[in-house]
């Protein structure tokens, strides 16, 4: 694994929504490019100002609707622009020291993919899983979505395709891949593919979207560098929203076990889930951030969460639209910013950057009740302590060996940290 991921914190955005491209109506994968991708560039300085230095892009390849029904992995979606537009974005990112990760949808493709259309015309089925019924090929699909045709990961042709796609865009200047729906792909497939890509691009980083399962075993079998940490996300969300810090405490203990094998990709928001401000309430977002930026892993911020934006994911067609909105042309045009949440992001990202050892550090639960929690994350003589209060009354909690309050609204006195109602604090040894 390369060294650089230990020092990169990601700003995650969904490009089609970000730039205001049509998602379901008036979509023509073969249309002339509309140069919307350039709308991301004015936001790169905002990424740096937050203290982040990575750009994790959702799908950008030609597709039929939402980007996850790819029809051409080698072409930028014309709703976003052209190869030249991506080249400019990569160059602008490099000028600022920002790494770029692309979303690789390699479990399935859209029904309009030329290779699948060839199958329907009686052509070769090598790339796809399915069966023949009389003279008709019935493909397997992804999680019941008829528009998403499953690739055959036992096929050498599929492995060759994925390797070619990965190397093509790494050659163009990206730094790695988020592997969409990696949980649906046999780990053995990645173990066949990724070493061949690393032969040409040893500095590339690969993070798999895995929602459940034995993370350490999946990493070992697949050779992926990291996995998305949904268990910690759920622990943070439900621990805070339900007033049950025992759930979060358990998730952190499980998280520590994973750190022995790899550094998970951690988050409190992404393009597939309800925004954290809606999940826990705006006043408790700093509590979630305090955990995110002080436990081990590779953290990401979902674009807009830093402003305290709210949105709820719904299980229906278009149910993701609210959490994938269009952004204004520049950060200066954002309205309704929750300054407390924005300040918390800045302060906690700065703390994380001062302590690079947090990447693989273990966290001890010093004290836990339903509504209070004290965590201590440490390596050797260095330690960061988090104290959280969900209750409506002030509390006094053990400060472990903390020497100073770094951020939050707590006060340190006589080896105790005093928190106001629904207060939080991060302290250093």
Q: Which domains does the chain have, with CATH numbers?
A: 4-361 (3.20.20.80)
**In the prediction, which pLDDT does 26 show?**
85
Q: Taking the mean position of all CA atoms in its chain, how far away is CA 175?
A: 15
Long-range contacts of 330-333, Cβ-Cβ distance < 8 Å, separation of 24 or more: 330/42, 330/43, 331/42, 331/43, 331/45, 331/46
**In the prediction, which pLDDT does 396 show?**
98
**Does this model's pTM top 0.95?**
yes
Residue with tokens 């408790």: 284
Q: What is the pLDDT along the chain (429 residues), one digit of tens a residue?
A: 899 999 999 999 999 999 999 999 889 999 999 999 999 999 999 999 999 999 999 999 999 999 999 999 999 999 999 999 999 999 999 999 999 999 999 999 999 999 999 999 989 999 999 999 988 999 999 999 999 999 999 999 999 999 999 999 999 999 999 999 999 999 999 999 999 999 999 999 999 999 999 999 999 999 999 999 999 999 999 999 999 999 999 999 999 999 999 999 999 999 999 999 999 999 999 999 999 999 999 999 999 999 999 999 999 989 999 999 999 999 999 999 999 999 999 999 999 999 999 999 999 999 999 999 999 999 999 999 999 999 999 999 999 999 999 999 999 999 999 999 999 999 999
Please check whether residue 257 is in contact with residue 214, taking contact to mean a CB–CB distance below 8 angstroms.
no
**In the prediction, which pLDDT does 134 show?**
87
**In the prediction, which pLDDT does 17 show?**
98
**In the prediction, which pLDDT does 45 show?**
98
| HEC string for the chain | CCCHHHHCCEEEECHHHHCCCCCCCCCCCCCCCCCCHHHHHHHHHHHHHHCCCEEEECCCEEECCCCCCEEEEEEECCCCCCHHHHHHHHHHHHHCCCEEEEEECCCEEECCCHHHHHHHCCCCCCCECEEEECCEEEECEECCEEEEEEECCCCHHHHHHHHHHHHHHHHHCCCEEEECCHHHCCHHHHHHHHHHHHHHCCCCEEEECCCCCCHHHHHHHHCCCEEECHHHHHHHHHHHHCCCHHHHHHHHHHHHHHHCCCCCEECCCCCCCCCHHHHHCHHHHHHHHHHHCCCCCEEEEECCHHHCCCCCCCCCCCCCHHHCCCCCCCHHHCCCCCHHHHHHHHHHHHHHHHCHHHHHCEEEEEEECCCEEEEEEEECCEEEEEEEECCCCCEEEECCCCCEEEEECCEEECCEEEECCCCEEEEEC
């Amino acid at each position: 694994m390369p060294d650089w991921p230990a020092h990169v914190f990601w700003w995650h955005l969904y490009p089609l929504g970000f730039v205001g491209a049509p998602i379901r109506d008036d979509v023509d994968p073969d249309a002339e490019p509309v140069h919307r991708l350039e709308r991301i560039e004015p936001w790169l300085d905002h990424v740096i100002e937050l203290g982040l230095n990575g750009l994790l892009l959702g799908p950008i390849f030609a597709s039929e609707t939402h980007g996850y029904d790819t029809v051409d992995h080698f072409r930028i979606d014309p709703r976003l622009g052209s190869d030249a537009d991506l080249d400019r974005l990569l160059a602008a990112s490099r000028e600022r020291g920002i790494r770029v990760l692309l979303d690789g949808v390699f479990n399935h493709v859209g029904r309009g993919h030329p290779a699948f259309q060839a199958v329907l015309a009686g052509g070769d089925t090598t790339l796809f899983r399915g069966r023949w019924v009389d003279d008709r090929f019935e493909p397997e699909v992804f999680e019941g979505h008829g528009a998403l045709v499953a690739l055959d990961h036992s096929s050498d042709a599929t492995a060759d395709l994925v390797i070619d796609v990965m190397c093509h865009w790494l050659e163009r200047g990206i730094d790695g891949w988020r592997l969409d729906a990696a949980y649906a792909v046999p780990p053995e497939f990645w173990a066949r593919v990724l070493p061949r890509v690393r032969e040409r691009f040893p500095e590339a980083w690969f993070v798999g979207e895995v929602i459940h399962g034995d993370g350490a075993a999946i990493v070992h079998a697949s050779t992926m560098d990291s996995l998305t940490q949904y268990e910690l996300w759920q622990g943070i969300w439900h621990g805070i929203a339900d007033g049950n810090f025992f759930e979060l405490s358990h998730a952190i203990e499980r998280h520590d076990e994973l750190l022995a094998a790899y550094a998970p990709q951690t988050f409190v928001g992404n393009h597939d889930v309800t925004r954290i401000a809606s999940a826990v309430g705006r006043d408790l977002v700093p509590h979630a951030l305090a955990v995110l930026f002080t436990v081990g892993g590779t953290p990401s911020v979902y674009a807009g969460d830093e402003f305290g934006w709210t949105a709820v994911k719904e299980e229906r067609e278009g149910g993701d639209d609210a959490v994938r909105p269009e952004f204004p042309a520049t950060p200066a045009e954002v309205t309704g910013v929750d300054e407390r949440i924005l300040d918390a992001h800045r302060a906690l990202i700065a703390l994380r950057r001062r302590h690079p050892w947090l990447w693989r550090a273990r966290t001890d639960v010093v004290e836990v009740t339903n509504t209070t929690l004290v965590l201590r994350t440490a390596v050797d003589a260095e330690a960061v302590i988090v104290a959280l209060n969900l209750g409506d009354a002030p509390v006094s909690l053990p400060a472990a060996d903390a020497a100073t309050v770094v951020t939050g609204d707590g006060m340190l006195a006589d080896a105790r940290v005093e928190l106001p109602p629904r207060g939080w604090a991060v302290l250093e040894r």
